[in-house]
């Protein structure tokens, strides 16, 4: 494999073509090479878009970290960028091993990941630090709430993502007898939803806050959105980052501006969010800033992004020939 310039690896790449392209564009002047991996790279659009791609074991199974370490060492990977929640804990624990071979893993501290991967812990931790969050209950406690003012409620897996397992509960009778996985129950919030992308530099300073209004959602990710400046959200972002242990790099969090309760933080993603291309187009060039830090430079991060930039997503396709395809049909005589 012939490689040159800085080397970036996007893991669990899936459909994150926008992330691959952001890093390629960020290093276009210095020749960045973007690698990508997935369980089945031939069925990953982002792996098709990358300069080099390879297969790895499941991120929650044995051999995942070793496979990444071997690849990073052989190919001089300087920055590893995880994309899904389920790989954050294992990579946070292994970050020191990657550091020994000269590779920065874009991940927060293990303590931070423990908090953000459990929505109940997230709300408890933020609430203790004065960040507004919805009232949150265990299913057992929620079943005892008899007053009409408590309802409706909203249940969701405490470790879920991509809008999986969400359930609105209008009255006590709607509460399931049991759940298939650990679940929290929260007061139902009704109002505009926002995602807030932030950049925290290597010294722990919050440099950028980019909220966008979620105009349309598909599979838990923003499909249509618009950047907005709101002093209330900026205050919450500063308090949220200050409450977390050793936040670094790019994170995002979601909140709802409830009609009666006001802004409430729902969850935190300690990674690039699916809607980050909107912040990038607005001028918050997270990929460029991370790459600069990795190369020992100041990130150049700023908060002078453009308000009112709208994103409307659409589907595109990659095509390649499959070796197991049917043989060519012989011409009829």
Domains of the chain: 7-107 (3.40.50.20), 112-118+190-312 (3.30.470.20), 135-187 (3.30.1490)
pLDDT digits (tens, 9 = 90+) for 292-316: 999 999 999 999 999 999 999 888 8
Burial of 259 (0-12, 13-18, 19+ CB in 10 A): exposed
Question: pLDDT band at residue 148, thresholds of 50, 70 and 90?
Answer: low
- Furthest C-alpha separation in the chain: 81
**Contact of 90 with 117, CB cutoff 8 Å:** no
Lowest mean pLDDT among 18-32, 60-74, 269-283: 18-32
Asked whether the predicted pLDDT for residue 200 surpasses 50, the reply is: yes
Average pLDDT of every residue of the chain: 90
Which position has the higher pLDDT, 160 or 25? 25
Q: How far apart are the first and last CA of the chain?
A: 46
**Predicted local confidence at residue 255, as pLDDT:** 96
| Beta strand segments in 25-112, E | 33-38, 52-55, 79-81, 104-105
The pLDDT tens digits of the residues spanning 176-198 come to: 777 878 888 899 999 999 999 99
Whether omega for the bond prior to residue 163 falls within 30 degrees of 0, making it cis, is: no
Backbone angles phi, psi at 246, to 5 degrees: 55, 55
Report the 10 Å Cβ neighbour count for 283: 15
Q: What's the rounded mean pLDDT across residues 197-219?
A: 93
Q: Tell me 244's DSSP state.
A: S
The answer to whether the predicted template modeling score (pTM) of the entire model surpasses 0.75 is yes
Mean pLDDT of 252-273: 95
What confidence score (pLDDT) does residue 138 get? 84
Higher-confidence residue of 317 and 252: namely 252
């Amino acid at each position: 494999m012939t490689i040159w310039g800085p080397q970036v690896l996007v893991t669990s790449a899936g459909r994150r073509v926008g992330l691959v392209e952001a890093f390629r564009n960020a290093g276009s002047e210095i020749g960045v090479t973007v690698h990508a991996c997935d369980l089945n790279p031939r069925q990953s659009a982002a792996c098709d878009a990358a300069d080099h791609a390879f297969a790895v074991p499941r991120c929650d199974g044995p051999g995942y970290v070793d496979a990444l370490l071997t690849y990073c060492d052989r190919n001089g990977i300087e920055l590893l960028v995880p994309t899904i929640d389920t790989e954050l804990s294992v990579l946070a624990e292994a970050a020191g091993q990657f550091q020994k071979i000269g590779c920065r893993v874009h991940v927060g501290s293990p303590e931070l990941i423990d908090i953000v991967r459990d929505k109940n812990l997230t709300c408890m931790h933020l609430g203790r630090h004065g960040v507004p969050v919805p009232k949150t209950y265990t299913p057992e406690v929620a079943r005892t709430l008899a007053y009409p003012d408590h309802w409706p409620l909203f249940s969701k897996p405490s470790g879920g993502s991509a809008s999986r397992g969400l359930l609105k509960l209008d009255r006590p009778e709607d509460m399931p007898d049991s759940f298939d996985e650990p679940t929290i129950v929260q007061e139902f919030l009704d109002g505009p939803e926002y995602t807030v992308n932030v950049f925290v530099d290597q010294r722990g300073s919050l440099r950028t806050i980019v909220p966008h209004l979620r105009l349309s959602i598909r599979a838990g990710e923003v499909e249509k959105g618009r950047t907005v400046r709101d002093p209330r959200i900026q205050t919450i972002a500063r308090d949220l980052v200050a409450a977390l242990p050793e936040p670094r790099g790019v994170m995002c969090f979601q909140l709802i501006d409830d009609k009666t309760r006001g802004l409430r933080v729902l969850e935190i993603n300690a990674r690039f969010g699916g809607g980050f291309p909107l912040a990038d187009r607005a001028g918050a060039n997270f990929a460029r800033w991370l790459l600069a830090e990795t190369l020992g430079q100041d990130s150049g991060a700023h908060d002078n992004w453009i308000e009112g930039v709208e994103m409307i997503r659409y589907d595109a396709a990659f095509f390649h020939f499959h070796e197991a395809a049917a043989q060519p049909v012989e011409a009829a005589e």
